[in-house]
Structure 1
Amino acid sequence: MRDGISFIVEIVNNIHDILIIMINDIFGMQMTDKDMHFWIMGFIGIFTFACVFVISKWLSQFPFGLHLIAFLYTLTFMFVLVFAIEIQQAITNRGNMEFIDAIIGLWGFIALFLVYIAVAVFFILMKTIFRKIRKKDDIDI
C-alpha cells in the first residue's frame, strides 16, 4: 500500500508542477503555490458539488432515495476514514499499513448496512401485513 500511495503522490506532484509551469510560464501569470491551491481546489470543489447536487436531486426522487444518498455519503466518509487510519499507522509506525485492512473495514460497514436493510424491510413488511389484516377486519364488520 505504501508503494501505491507513493505512486499516487508522484503523479499528483507531477501534475502540480506541470500546472504551475503551464499557468505561470505559458499564460504569463505569476501565481504563487497558495494562489494555485486556492483556484484549483476551488474549481475541483465547485465541480464536485455540482455533480453531487445533480446526482442527489435525481436520487431523491426514488422511493428510498434519501437512504441511498445517506448510504453514499457515509460510504464516502468511510473511505476517507479507513485510508486516513492506514496512513496514520504508516506515519506513526503504530500498526501495519495494509490495503486489506481498509477493504475489510469497508466490508464491515457494508455488512452491517445490509443487516440494517434487512431489519428495515422486515418492519416494512410487517407494517404492510398488519395494515392489510386491519383493512380486512374493517371490511368484515
Structure 2
Amino acid sequence: MKDGITFIVEIVNNIHDILIVILNDILGLQMTDKDMHFWIMGFIGIFTFACVFVISKWLSKFPFGIQLIAFLYTLTFMVVLVFAIEIQQAITNRGNMEFIDAIIGMWGFIALFLVYVGIVAFFMIIKLIVGKFKRNDDDIEM
C-alpha cells in the first residue's frame, strides 16, 4: 500500500509541476503555490459539487433515493476514514499499513449495511402482508 500511495503522490507532484509551468511560465500569471492551491482546489471542489448535486437530485427521484444518497455519502466517508487510519499507522509506526486492512474495514461496513437492508426489507414485507390481510378483512365485513 505504501508503494501505491508513493506512486499517487508522484503523479500529483508531476501534475503540480506541469501546472506551475503552464500557469507561470507559459501564461505568465506568476501564481504562488498558495494562489495555485486556492484556484485549482476551488475549481476541483466546485466541479465535484456540481456533479454530486446533479447525481443526488437524480437519485432523490427514485424510491429509497434518499437512503441511496446517504449510503453513497457514508461509503465515501468510510473510504476516506479507512485510508486515513492506514496512513496514520504508517506515519506513527503503530500498526502495519496494509491495503487489505482498508478493504476488510470497508467489507465490515458493507456487511452491516446489508444487515440493515435485510431488516428494513423484512419489516416492509411484514407491513405489506399485514396490509393485505387488513384489506381482505375489510372486504369480508362489507
Partner of 1:92: 92
Report the 3-state secondary structure (helix = DSSP H, G, I; strand = E; otherwise coil) of the residue aligned with 2:139. Answer: helix
Partner of 1:34: 34
Alignment of 1:67 with 2:101, yes or no, is no
Partner of 1:53: 53
Report the 3-state secondary structure (helix = DSSP H, G, I; strand = E; otherwise coil) of the residue aligned with 1:63. Answer: coil
Question: TM-score of the superposition, structure 1-length normalised?
Answer: 0.99
Look up the equivalent residue of 2:107 and give its one-letter code. W
Partner of 2:122: 122
Shift of 1:18: 0.8
Partner deviation per Cα, 1:30-87 (whole Å, 9 max, x = no partner): 1000000000000000000000000000001100111111100000000000000000
Shift of 1:126: 0.3
Question: TM-score of the superposition, structure 2-length normalised?
Answer: 0.98
Shift of 1:139: 1.1
Partner of 1:5: 5
Shift of 1:131: 0.8
Look up the equivalent residue of 1:37 and give its one-letter code. H
Report the 3-state secondary structure (helix = DSSP H, G, I; strand = E; otherwise coil) of the residue aligned with 1:115. Answer: helix
**Number of equivalenced pairs:** 141
Partner of 1:16: 16
Where structure 1 has 5 or more consecutive residues not aligned to the other structure, the ranges are none
Shift of 1:21: 1.1
Shift of 1:137: 0.7
Distance 2:135 2:29 in 1: 73
Where structure 2 has 5 or more consecutive residues not aligned to the other structure, the ranges are none
Look up the equivalent residue of 2:72 and give its one-letter code. L
State the identity as a percent.
79
Look up the equivalent residue of 1:119 and give its one-letter code. I
